[in-house]
Structure 1
Amino acid sequence: MQTQKRCWNCRDRKTACDRSRPTCRKCRERKETCLGYGIKLSWPRENDRRRFTRAKGHCLFPVQSGDLEFVNTSSEDIEVSQQLSRLHHSPKSYEMMWLSQLPRMTMGRADCTLTPPNGVTPVARLISSSYDADDLYGLLLRLSINDDEKPTLATRHAISALSYQHLDKDKALVYQTNAVCALQSSIEALVPSRAIQTMAASMLLSIFETLNFDSSSLGWSIFFCGTKTIARLVTQLHGTHYGDEALILDWIFYHDAMYKFSIRHWIKKDDDQTQLAGLTKVISKAIFAPERQTVVPILGCSLELLDLVCQAVDAVFDRDDPRHLSKAHIETIRSLEIRTRNAEQRHTSVSETALLELSYAANIAELYRLATLVYLCRVGRGAPHDSQGVQELVKESFTLLDRIKFCERPWPLFVIALEARTEESRQTVLTVLEESLRRRPLGSVYLTSRMIRDAWVQQDLRDGDIDPLILYNLVVSRNRVPPSFA
């Protein structure tokens, strides 16, 4: 059987070919491997003047940098975007069960055997993102070794559970069970003098639940509800507290504010979670106390500003809610914006050796203030990203981000990062995230990094600007449990 074309060897040699199949007889005689008769890619030979053309100039491409960052888009992300395009703009109309889930492991690099660069113990980094987190951790250790009473044991076992969270899950669960049993006994016979220990144990178990990948979505809420209930029972409303009691109450208030934000944008919340988020806040300083203007290390900002964050979250309504952009709503947002713009955040006097930490703390406190204003404009008002007011805030925020180099506070970083639209601004965020993860590999920074990237993907898949409320609800609700921004 013959073909009409010569084999590729004979074509190259420009000789006759017997065109026999499957291989050319001429090639066999020359003891060459016949290249066959099929289609193949070919390039001009060096001496082929007829087919060879030369470019008149040289096009030089710059060497690509090895520091490029890529935000990957999965098929699930595309499905999410397509589903969003078919939904009304009311968050109530979402059916979020089809959303892809983040991996069960929310820690990207959880080497608990290593001490972070700043020398703070790993467990201390789990309970607080403060630059002096050992102050709180030291207090918790003291509360856990006082004696062998139930409140002390509850705190001790809860710390042990957190310590084993990424080393031995079985041991962690054993200590968690022991802590829960001791905590239940403490609550049944609650003694006011033991209230701090009881609140500390309940808070530690709440944090454990945010890191426990087998817990239910209500686990965090249950323990945190217990914490707030105890705090309200043993403290005076609008009272002023100092010392260890104030440190514990500030710690609870910080998680309370972040919980309120997370539940506000959690689509699958139930009545219990909503009720918990709406409970009266327990703040260590009275409303008009001057100490409310002082930056609290465990918060990253002043008590007054964190209270404004809570009020900003309360001022966010669904777009189909009749209260949205009503006269009363606009007045509320305007009042919050004025108070936030004029908020003073003072710092206590420090020694010269602590000036670097003071500068960082001042920048983080300012980042909180800017993030609150951005949140009010974008999510509260629903202002477009390209509006002048938003652009001024975003520019100022990214200038500050570029200056601080790292940020271990997930909430302000999350709010500002979702306004990144250019490659330069996103690279700034990624650089800050990389350094922040190096300093705090445990905790919620990694999860925040994942949510930021998810948000960018959805923004890139949309032709126009996506409603920020929809975007917040989307990325927060893609987690298996309400994420912690603490």
Structure 2
Amino acid sequence: MRLSWPKDGDTKRSMTSGVLRCPTDYRTCADIELVHTSFFDMEMYYYLVELRSNSKGDEAVILPDNLILPSPTPLKPVDLNAEELELLRYFETTAFSTLATFSADLAGVRDMLVGMALANHTIPSRAVLHALLAFSSLHRDGLQLQAAQHKTAAVGALAASAQNGVLTTTEAAQHVAANMLLCSFEIHMGTDSHGHWPWYLMGARDIIKAAGLEGQIFRNDISELVMWTYYHDVLARFSLLHWRRGSVPQVFAKELGAEGWQRDLCSFVMKLKLNFGSLPTILRYLGDMVDTLSESLHSPTPMVILQEKIHAFEAKVQNVPEPAIAPTKEEAKAAASLTELYRSAVLVYIARVCENKFGENRDLTPLLDTSFAQLEQAHTCQRLFPIFILGCEANTDERRMIILDLLRRTEETHVRSLDSIRRGLDSVWIQDDLNADQDTALDYMNKLNVVVSSSPTIPTFV
């Protein structure tokens, strides 16, 4: 929030009167300093007002994360104007928390992105800065001219930098960061998106491969960028498997297909014996299964072999160890809870595929009972894949209300439009209800194909 004052001589919005001269016995006007009120200060004020009516004792009050100032950066962005500084501060305190990635340390991701944006005055650095400011502006004020201008500036900077030829490792990392911020920008636009997010994702993937950033994955900053891209890539494959619009599946299947860098990355990680945690491992097996299903569409695979492969993925997902957490670490608890939700969603999806393709009868009652109890207890769920897959299983009004309430709380807290996933779930529920009196259920894969393809742009489930 910025206070706006009328210009000199403008009497439209204010009462004017004569201004006394500065007292000569105090200091000159040039020495006067202003104390600026920022978005962070307003949030702190609202919190203090809320505490005033709170009956809890001092010991019970824990300061929320959005009121903790980020670590000061040694960089001084002297060339940013007041508007840009405010957007930067908003990203540091609020907007960063909605970035969808594997990392449980989003504050670390935030500091990495801010550091890249302010590192120097090179074109790649400016690309990251404008992409970051565009995302922050969109998150705070919705789609408007300021957000569009920063997005256009980021795209222009990326294009100009690419014309300069070979990128250094630092410049390549900045290109990946800018592309992933622009990808996130498109995703957060929701129904207003032009569906360009896959192109930014492919840009990030191509740079990682061309610059050999997988070879630098032991570096903390490179690791975060690669895994961020990898997370979006796996779920993009899921979207594209079920997206059936003319020739579009073939175009994107070729770009995001099974022969790409995802498997190379996984083998590289295993070779180095790096452990990125339970959630990336579960998503890796989901990606492998989606690749297998996609391959079977283009080159027919014997049903027995396909069944064996999918059963193997299912066993691997079940055997991924639960993440170890410290009982006092709330962030770790939330990450562990999200991991188990993803595990449940992936197992439900695999079970439905097995029922659909191989005629296997699966009793999902215990798994679904546990999953919906967890969803009912969750305050929010920032990741859409488990909400969508488990939401498709909501066959009672009570379970549908659990999903809708969770979506509402998430949308209110994280300032992201969830109209697309809500509309998709509505379609699934309506089709199930229309078919309720029939002897046979609707084909699961066909149902997902039709619902996902009914979206005006390619939906994302990150």
After TM superposition, the score normalised by the length of structure 1 is 0.67
Write the deviation string for residues 371-394 of structure 1: whole angstroms up to 9, x where unpaired: 111111113541799944333432
Number of residue pairs the alignment of both structures matches: 363
Superposition deviation, residue 210 in structure 1 = 3.1
1:143 counterpart SS class: helix
Paired amino acid for 2:256: A
Bigger radius of gyration, 1 or 2?
Answer: 1
Q: Could you tell me which residue of structure 2 aligns to residue 243 of structure 1? A: 220
Answer yes or no: is 1:124 the counterpart of 2:103: no
Q: Closer, same or farther in 2 for the Cα pair 1:162/1:398, shift >3 Å?
A: same
1:281-360 residue pairs with structure 2 within 5 A?
A: 281=262, 283=265, 286-287=269-270, 290-292=273-275, 294-295=277-278, 301=279, 303-316=280-293, 323=300, 326-347=303-324, 350=326, 353-354=328-329, 356-360=330-334
* Greater relative CO (CA pairs within 8 A, separation 6+): 1
Paired amino acid for 1:127: L
1:164 counterpart SS class: helix
Write the deviation string for residues 419-466 of structure 1: whole angstroms up to 9, x where unpaired: 1112232232223223322322325x4432332222112211223422
1-structure distance, mates of 2:183, 2:172: 16
Q: Percent sequence identity over matched residues?
A: 25
Superposition deviation, residue 168 in structure 1 = 5.3
Write the deviation string for residues 362-414 of structure 1: whole angstroms up to 9, x where unpaired: 12111111111111111354179994433343233223323434322110111
Q: Could you tell me which residue of structure 2 aligns to residue 148 of structure 1? A: 121
Answer yes or no: is 1:376 the counterpart of 2:376: no
Answer yes or no: is 1:207 the counterpart of 2:179: no
* 1:466 pairs with one of 416, 427, 442: 442
Q: Could you tell me which residue of structure 2 aligns to residue 57 of structure 1? A: none
After TM superposition, the score normalised by the length of structure 2 is 0.70
Q: Closer, same or farther in 2 for the Cα pair 1:329/1:270, shift >3 Å?
A: closer
Q: Closer, same or farther in 2 for the Cα pair 1:405/1:289, shift >3 Å?
A: farther
Q: Closer, same or farther in 2 for the Cα pair 1:237/1:171, shift >3 Å?
A: closer
Is the 8 Å Cα contact of residues 312 and 372 (structure 1) preserved in structure 2? no
1-structure distance, mates of 2:297, 2:104: 42
Write the deviation string for residues 194-234 of structure 1: whole angstroms up to 9, x where unpaired: 111111011112222334566644x2222221110100122
2:461 counterpart SS class: coil
Is the 8 Å Cα contact of residues 100 and 383 (structure 2) preserved in structure 1? no
Instruction: Name the structure with the higher helix share.
Output: 2
Superposition deviation, residue 171 in structure 1 = 2.1
Q: Could you tell me which residue of structure 2 aligns to residue 180 of structure 1? A: 155
1:17-416 residue pairs with structure 2 within 5 A?
A: 119=66, 121-128=93-100, 132-165=105-138, 166-167=141-142, 169-188=144-163, 189=165, 190-212=167-189, 216-217=194-195, 219-235=196-212, 240-268=217-245, 269-278=248-257, 279-281=260-262, 283=265, 286-287=269-270, 290-292=273-275, 294-295=277-278, 301=279, 303-316=280-293, 323=300, 326-347=303-324, 350=326, 353-354=328-329, 356-382=330-356, 387-416=361-390
1:292 counterpart SS class: coil
1:398-477 residue pairs with structure 2 within 5 A?
A: 398-442=372-416, 445-463=418-436, 464=438, 465-477=441-453
1-structure distance, mates of 2:192, 2:95: 20
Superposition deviation, residue 146 in structure 1 = 0.9
2-structure distance, mates of 1:431, 1:476: 22
Superposition deviation, residue 479 in structure 1 = 1.6
Superposition deviation, residue 126 in structure 1 = 4.0
1:382 counterpart SS class: helix
Structure 1 gap segments, 5+ residues each: 1-112, 296-300
Paired amino acid for 1:292: N
2-structure distance, mates of 1:385, 1:393: 20
2-structure distance, mates of 1:381, 1:345: 27
2-structure distance, mates of 1:234, 1:286: 17
Structure 2 gap segments, 5+ residues each: 1-41, 48-63, 67-91
Q: Closer, same or farther in 2 for the Cα pair 1:385/1:454, shift >3 Å?
A: farther
Indicate the RMSD between aligned Cα atoms, in angstroms: 3.2
